[in-house]
Amino acid sequence: MTTALLVVNRYAAASTPRLVSRVLKVLRRYSAVDVIETVPGQTTARVVRRVDRTVDRIYVLGGDGTVGDVAGALTESDIDLGVIPCGTTNVVARECGIPLQPSRAAEALARSRRTRIFQTWSTGRGTLILNMGVGFDARLMLHTTMRAKRRWGILAVAVTALREVVRYDFPEIDIEGQDATGRPFKLRGTYMLVGNLKRYAGDAIMLPRADPADELLDLLVFRSCERMRLAAFWALSAIPGSPHIKLDYVRSLRARILRVDSATGVEVHLNGDPHGQTPVQLEPSGRVRLLVPV
């Protein structure tokens, strides 16, 4: 008899015991379900220890950071991953067309056998499924408190962003790797964003060429030290047509492998969660199958 697992992030922005019970009630109409509660820094290891031949799918009730942690346990496996969103921005769910209401998402995924392939990338201490930021937005993620996320949602992130624009010191960041053709490249910027998906922080299209099924990372490198330009970059990213990537102080490219460093440690986020400081490296780490609604 096959079993599904439900990985629950109790620290997610909208996670409550009542919500977990509602989701379990839906899922258990379709199969047996065991629950794993996450512990910060131990999610991947806990899932690896629990997976056996009886497990045919794993659901994640949490945000994008928890999705990335579970994906790290499933690269190249034949276990399907279902995202039941209850984080702050839920970008992976949006990318897959999954309902943002958790009970509806659970119903849609439990009834589906349709999947979508996502390439993942490893830093050596975590798995990228969504994006990574070095500099500005990593500080933004670090300084947005869980209490604020629970109370205000995406508005809390926006308020912190305004504060961080005023405080950002534009550190020099050195970026090197192999481009889409396999040629080496070197760049320097003051902030960078690496993505596997088009969307960022909701439905905004930050990286219009990104495709999670290909073996390429999409990069945006900000190469200015002016606060007004940083504010303009973020304001334009919310406008259809992605005018932010056409700014003359923004470099857009695609890469197969990537290494980022700085003379002083610069903050890094991975899938929206703080991920230490530079140096950081990304290499392909395998593929996962994400359940999508029929």
Q: What are the φ and ψ backbone dihedral angles of 223, each rounded to 5 degrees?
A: -125, 50
Output the pLDDT for position 69. 94
- For the segment 179-198, the average pLDDT, to the nearest whole number, is 96
Output the pLDDT for position 224. 97
Output the pLDDT for position 93. 95
Output the pLDDT for position 223. 97
Residue 110 scores a pLDDT above 80: yes
Domain 127-285: which topology?
Tumour Suppressor Smad4 (2.60.200)
Q: Are 220 and 251 in contact (CB under 8 A)?
A: yes
Same CATH topology for 3-119 and 127-285?
no
Q: CATH: 3.40.50.1000, 3.40.50.10330, 3.90.1150.10, 3.40.50.300. Which one for 3-119?
A: 3.40.50.10330
Q: Are 8 and 15 in contact (CB under 8 A)?
A: yes
Lowest mean pLDDT among 7-21, 150-164, 180-194, 222-236: 150-164
Q: What whole-number distance in Å separates Cα of residue 210 and Cα of residue 103?
A: 29
Residue 112 scores a pLDDT above 90: yes
Output the pLDDT for position 160. 80
pLDDT tens digits, one per residue of 215-273: 999 999 999 999 999 999 999 998 989 999 999 999 999 999 999 999 999 999 999 88
Q: What whole-number distance in Å separates Cα of residue 13 and Cα of residue 35?
A: 19
Task: Tell me the average pLDDT of the chain.
Answer: 92
Output the pLDDT for position 143. 83
Output the pLDDT for position 158. 76
Domain ranges in the chain are 3-119, 127-285
Residue 87 scores a pLDDT above 90: no
Output the pLDDT for position 149. 73
Give 276: exposed, middle or buried? Use CB within 10 Å, 0-12, 13-18, 19+. middle
Residue 209 scores a pLDDT above 90: yes
Q: What whole-number distance in Å separates Cα of residue 208 and Cα of residue 171?
A: 26
Share of the chain above pLDDT 70, in %: 98
Residue 17 scores a pLDDT above 80: yes
User: Of 73-87, 100-114, 137-151, which has the strongest mean pLDDT?
Assistant: 100-114
pLDDT tens digits, one per residue of 130-152: 999 999 999 988 887 777 776 77
Q: What are the φ and ψ backbone dihedral angles of 157, each rounded to 5 degrees?
A: -65, -40
